[in-house]
Amino acid sequence: MTDFDEQALVAQAQADPQVFGALYDRYFDRIYGFIRRRVHDQKTAEDLTAATFEAALRKIGRFQWRGGGFGAWLYRIARNKITSHHRKARWLVPLSALLNGQRQAIKRASFTDHFELSDQLTKGLAALRLADQEIIALRFFEGLSSDELTLVLGCSKDNVYLRLHRALKRLRAYLDEAEQDLEANNDQE
Amino acid sequence: MTKNEIRHWGQRLEAGQSKEPLLALAGSLAQSRVNSVQADKEFKTGLRARLLNTATPKASSRALAPIAMGLAVIAALWLALRVPQPASAAELLDRANVAYASYMQSGGILHTEFVLSTFEGRPQELHGESWLAGDEGSSRVELRDSRGRLVYFAQRNGETLWRSMHDLPIEAPIEALYRLGQDEYELARDLYQQLHPGLEWPPFFGDLAQWIELDTWFSEQAVACQDLYCLLGIDKDMEWDCQDKFCTLPLLETEVLLTPLELVAQFLGTEKLANGQEVYVVELGTNLIEGKLREMKFATDDFSLVEVTAYSTNHPHPIARLRVTVREQLPVNALSFDNTPSSLQIIDWAGQRDLLQVPLGMTNGSLFTPLHVLALEMPGWVEIRFHLEEGSPPSGSQISGSQEIVVSVNLDPPLPEDAELVIQLCASSPQLDYLFTFTRNCFALGGIQLPVATNQQSVETSFQVNVTEEWPEHISLMIGMESSEFEKIYVITDVFWTTQP
């Protein structure tokens, strides 16, 4: 489906909500996968996916086509839902629940849990700030274009590149350091 | 890196070049395989059917239920007590600076009563009640003064939050309720980032404006809770560190680059209240020289918050105190959340004016935020003081006695394609009402919405003010930017307030 086709489909869905089903079919797996890789359990992923598509259906009448397209818009909604979920979970777990050993309930899913990466890369990514992890995951693992990222992250394209550059630089630094440590250990042996 | 360098780097990235180390790393990352995640088929088809068969879909929040319930009360209370309001009552509430933590996971209605005492200026005592429905989506907060008069009201129905507003002096009638979506927190974040480009989120404490105090508040809650674990010797595998008896946590996210505000809590011991209830006493403070301290008392049996007393570091006496009583399991029908009241009762805090009945409903559906309020204070005929809350004053502002007011807004493109500039102007004095005649489409009360182009640099619009006797004592100007997707408020860089000769 081309951008033009999708644009037409979105326009139809704005007039007739039943057409939304086609957009749902097109994006469900990507959005669900995106969410599922960011939360720990299936039920939460399902809730957030449902909330994402419900919000999209509710607001589609006000959606206006932009460079990133409908998919990026969905990603942005999903991202907001995930962020909100993590924030609430982090701040609002009852003390009693934590004291009863339910601490894992608020542990954040790693961005790298569902990707086949080398051990070093996994460790390197895990050592990054969450914002760095996120932009790397969105760009390279979820495959979002820079145009889509501008919409999802709500920043300019220059800013996307700047953030990507910084994130990669930090990751590179970690990997270089790890490599040096490894070499030093090998020399000692 | 300069902007040009970044752009060129982006072009090389898009072209798939791999000669530089970072681009090579990018290339190897892009080749990483994503493990397939399949959704449950029944869920996928069920959700599709539900979406297409539901005329007015409701948000799903099954897994979020317990925390959503807590959040609703907390959010409602925060909104009731922390919303920036230039009025005296609002200042009073704002100084109270309370925190609240109580969790409820059973059905029925959670009913909380609280007493808020303030000691600065005129001692005041407010009696509050909140209700939280078992269906998670409905909550209500009411604040009354010592004579039982309603001074604040907030109600959440599903995704809609109604609350009374006080952007006019409190002795003027409340003219509208704000209706906010669920994304108000996100709105604050985006607004901050737009207003402070280049700074990391979360902000450094010195940049905190009123509209991000929610963040502070949440972090304080978290630290207070986390500190208890440290104090009680409970091991944890989370993101904070126990140092001695204290828990330290950077403001909000641990990954912040800037030196953050740190909130430190100290366990003072246990105490028995007059009613026999045993509580943990925790003092919560910041690493700022001049800051606020809070003494929080948590019930030893269920850790619910019983009392919060706020102090200033340079003020030995309490600023405000909040006592909380929670009663669970009221009948489901104990309170109807279906309708907002037909009017609000607003009183003057100085007690000099009679109670006012204020009809509501004029602004149904309007989306305005009080988060960005520019208040003009006009003590005399010509001398004007332009006051921008929690920020820098605009670069130019002047006003003369003319009745034609021109508002010029400098924008910061690129703007969203569907952006609309929203301007609302309010004026009042004890004796007079002011009528603003807008030269373009009128929006709500004394407001206007103007479409703007993505690359538009400025907007100029005019208001005809019919002043019968004298200039109003207070004028407030509220300017924001809406776009269709998330109803967010965007940047306003400069506001020039002039009048035509």
Q: Which of A96-110, B75-89, B106-120, B321-335 has the lowest mean pLDDT?
A: B75-89
State percent of chain B over pLDDT 90: 0
Structure confidence by residue, pLDDT tens digits, B186-233: 333 444 454 445 544 433 322 223 323 333 333 344 444 444 444 444
Contact at CB, A91 and B219, closer than 8 angstroms:
yes
Asked if the model's pLDDT at residue B498 lies above 50, the reply is no
Smallest CA-to-CA distance from B459 within B497, B416, B424, B407 is with: B407
Q: Are B264 and B286 in contact (CB under 8 A)?
A: yes
CA gap A50, B151 in Å, rounded: 38
Reduced to 3 states (helix: H, G, I; strand: E, B; else coil), residue B104 is coil
Q: At what angle do helices B3-14 and A146-153 cross, to 10 degrees?
A: 130
Q: What is the pLDDT of residue A28?
A: 93
Q: What is the pLDDT of residue B89?
A: 31
Asked if the model's pLDDT at residue B8 lies above 60, the reply is yes
Residue B228 C-beta-side C-alpha neighbours within 13 Å: 24
Q: What is the pLDDT of residue B70?
A: 28
Per residue, what are the HEC states of B259-301? Answer: CCCEEEEEEEEEEECCCCCEEEEEEEEECCCCCEEEEEEEECC
CB of B219 within 8 Å of any CB in chain A? yes
Asked if the model's pLDDT at residue B79 lies above 50, the reply is no
Contact at CB, B44 and A115, closer than 8 angstroms:
no
The mean predicted confidence, pLDDT, of chain B is 50
Smallest CA-to-CA distance from A45 within A74, A77, A85, A91 is with: A85
Nearest CA in chain B to A65: B417
Contact at CB, A94 and B303, closer than 8 angstroms:
yes
CB of B255 within 8 Å of any CB in chain A? yes
- Report the complex ipTM: 0.77
Per-residue pLDDT band for B381 (boundaries 50, 70, 90) equals very low
Task: Indicate the residue of B22, B29, B63 with minimum beta-carbon distance to A47.
Answer: B63
Positive or negative, the Cα torsion across A54, A55, A59, A63?
A: negative
CA gap B211, B189 in Å, rounded: 9
CA gap A92, A68 in Å, rounded: 34
- Residue B178 has a CB neighbour count (10 Å cut-off) of 21
Q: Which of A12, A28, A39, A95 to mutate to test the interface with B (most CBs of B within 10 A)?
A: A95
Structure confidence by residue, pLDDT tens digits, B408-442: 666 666 676 777 776 655 544 444 444 444 443 33
CA gap B9, A37 in Å, rounded: 29
CB of B69 within 8 Å of any CB in chain A? no
Rama region for A154: left / alpha / beta (φ>0; ψ in -120 to 50; rest): left
Q: Are B251 and B202 in contact (CB under 8 A)?
A: yes
Q: What is the pLDDT of residue A24?
A: 92
Pairing of strands B138-144, B124-132: antiparallel
Would you write out chain A's pLDDT as a tens digit for each of its 189 residues? 666 678 888 888 888 878 889 999 999 998 998 888 777 778 888 988 998 898 888 778 767 766 667 888 888 788 777 765 664 443 333 333 333 333 333 333 445 555 556 677 778 887 777 667 888 888 888 888 888 887 777 666 777 887 788 889 888 888 888 878 778 887 777
CA gap B43, B48 in Å, rounded: 8
Q: Are A117 and B32 in contact (CB under 8 A)?
A: yes
Segment (H or E) for B8 = helix B3-14
Structure confidence by residue, pLDDT tens digits, B245-301: 444 433 333 222 222 334 455 667 789 988 898 887 766 655 444 455 667 677 777
For residue B47, the chain A residues in CB contact (below 8 A) are 46, 49-50, 53
Nearest CA in chain A to B238: A107
Q: Tell if the pTM clears 0.80, that is, is over it.
A: no
**Residue bearing the bigger pLDDT, B174 or B44:** B44
- Residue A150 has a CB neighbour count (10 Å cut-off) of 21
Task: Indicate the residue of B60, B298, B418 with minimum beta-carbon distance to A47.
Answer: B60
Look up residue B249 and give its DSSP letter.
E
Note which residues in 469-488 of chain B have CB less than 8 A from chain A. 484-486
For residue A146, the chain B residues in CB contact (below 8 A) are 10, 13-14
Amino acid at B25: L
Q: How far, rounded to the nearest angstrom, does the alpha carbon of residue B261 sit from its chain's CA centroid?
A: 19
- Range B135-140 contact pairs with CB under 8 angstroms and sequence separation of 24 or more: B136/B61, B136/B65, B136/B68, B136/B69, B136/B72, B137/B72, B138/B72, B138/B337, B139/B72, B139/B73, B139/B76, B139/B337, B140/B76, B140/B335, B140/B337
Contact at CB, A103 and B236, closer than 8 angstroms:
yes
For residue B225, the chain A residues in CB contact (below 8 A) are 95, 98
Segment (H or E) for B427 = strand B420-428
Locate the DSSP E strands across B229-388: 241-243, 246-250, 262-272, 278-286, 292-299, 305-312, 315-330, 343-346, 356-359, 373-377, 385-388
CA-based angle B456:B462:B464, to the nearest 5? 165
Both structure tokens of B415: 């703007």
CB of B5 within 8 Å of any CB in chain A? no
Both structure tokens of B489: 């408020």
